[in-house]
Amino acid sequence: MTASPTGGPLTGLRVIDAATLAAGPLIATWLGEHGADVIKIEQPDGGDPLRQWGAQRDGVGLMWKSLGRNKRSVTLNLREQAGRDLLRDLTDTADVVVMNLRPSTLTKWGIDHATLSQRNPGLVMVHVTGYGEGGPKSDRPGFGTLGEAMSGFAHLTGHPDGPPTLPSFMLADGVAALTATYAVMMALYHRDVRGGTGQLIDINLIEPLARLIEQPVLTYDQLGTVPSRTGNRWDISAPRNTYRTKDGNWLAMSGSAPSIAMRALRAVGHPELTEDPRFAEAQQRLRNATAIDAVMAEWIEAHTLDEAMDVFEEANVAAAPVYDAAQLLDDPQLIARGTYPSVPDPQLGAMRVQAPVPRFSHTPGGIDHLGPELGEHNEEVYGGLLGLDADHRAALHEQGVI
């Protein structure tokens, strides 16, 4: 039995997911849906906190069901020496291990990369922490909320007269996980194609998101000014905002390309403004963003969402409805692409989750199953993979190790 979709590009790769909460497990999720055999390590007393995170149905965590897709769950108490010994045995069989314990804890427990790579030189370890190794905060606990604050994201998000605003989803964790996932691919390329060894990938929850928000640093470094919150506007593009429609929906628009901005002005019945110096040139449009915003808002609020979208689509204007979850699932484009397949599940019956991203023409990813029950694969992994007999497994269970 394999927990990886047949034919995925990472088939044959084994990943030990020994991390908790969002960023580390997300890395393993993305590797798993593209073919890797992911063994999820969880504490016997409750498992990954992701199981209790967010919305529940009949006591079953919905986020866990998605993030636990294609993984094999085993219980293992890393606070016990016997548990750490078993982890070392598992990493001996693995290509990648994902951890998010504090650096000092990894070293104290003898499960740091330097120790594990002595036994398995090809091992790639991803170590996700709040602040990264080195520096005065290296050993402090960190969470995505702190990364969203310290990266500069919250400072820029929100309206000018309002407070810094945090996202209501796992943004910093997700960006860190995406960054780490491509880092794993580079490390494996170095190992398998270039003939190198495994290595440690050190990633935190601040730097990947900060890299996407680099412009304020560049502006401060070169111009000495600190950009502030601008609501839904952005100082590189106008018009750019969300606009309320006549029927109470919302529409988003981007005028990043000058040709798109000119089309938008024509579409709302103001072709004369395309010759107006305030709007015809990109830098002037930015200086007059309030004025062009008012033109767009006035026209859009006089039309329903469908009416406005019909006009903008006909004119090739970059506009889109602001979707809630129900509208997202009902969108014809996403339905045609099968973006949210319904996956059977023994606990929930079935659940719609997002399909793997990106899509490959010859080696597509897939979803074999949603998140398993805690310890569902103990016998399969400890008995089948490590060869522990039933008596040994029973003794470890009695001791609280598995």
Q: Which residues have a catalytic role annotated?
A: 173
- 298: which 2 tokens? 């006035």
Contact 397, 388 (CB under 8 A): no
Contact 255, 289 (CB under 8 A): no
Which residues are CB-neighbours of 209 under 8 A, at least 6 positions away? 147, 148, 151, 153, 171, 172, 175, 176
Strands (E), 183-259: 200-204, 240-244, 250-254
Phi then psi for 56, rounded to 5 degrees?
-125, 150
Contact 122, 95 (CB under 8 A): yes
Phi then psi for 237, rounded to 5 degrees?
-150, 135
CA proximity to 114, closest of 130, 99, 135:
99
Question: Tokens 């269970």 — which residue?
Answer: 397
How far is residue 111's CA from residue 123's CA, in Å, rounded to a whole number? Answer: 12
Cα distances (Å, whole numbers) of residue 116 to 95, 202, 309, 392: 12, 15, 56, 24
- 76: which 2 tokens? 């293992």
How far is residue 330's CA from residue 333's CA, in Å, rounded to a whole number? Answer: 9
Contact 127, 115 (CB under 8 A): no
Alpha helices in 213-355 (DSSP H): 215-223, 258-267, 277-280, 282-287, 289-300, 305-314, 325-329, 332-337
Contact 124, 188 (CB under 8 A): yes
- 382: which 2 tokens? 């400890």
- 177: which 2 tokens? 């996980």
Question: Tokens 């007393």 — which residue?
Answer: 45
Contact 235, 241 (CB under 8 A): no
Phi then psi for 275, rounded to 5 degrees?
-100, -5
How far is residue 72's CA from residue 60's CA, in Å, rounded to a whole number? Answer: 17
How far is residue 26's CA from residue 31's CA, in Å, rounded to a whole number? Answer: 9
User: Crossing angle, helix 305-314 and helix 258-267, to 10 degrees?
Assistant: 130
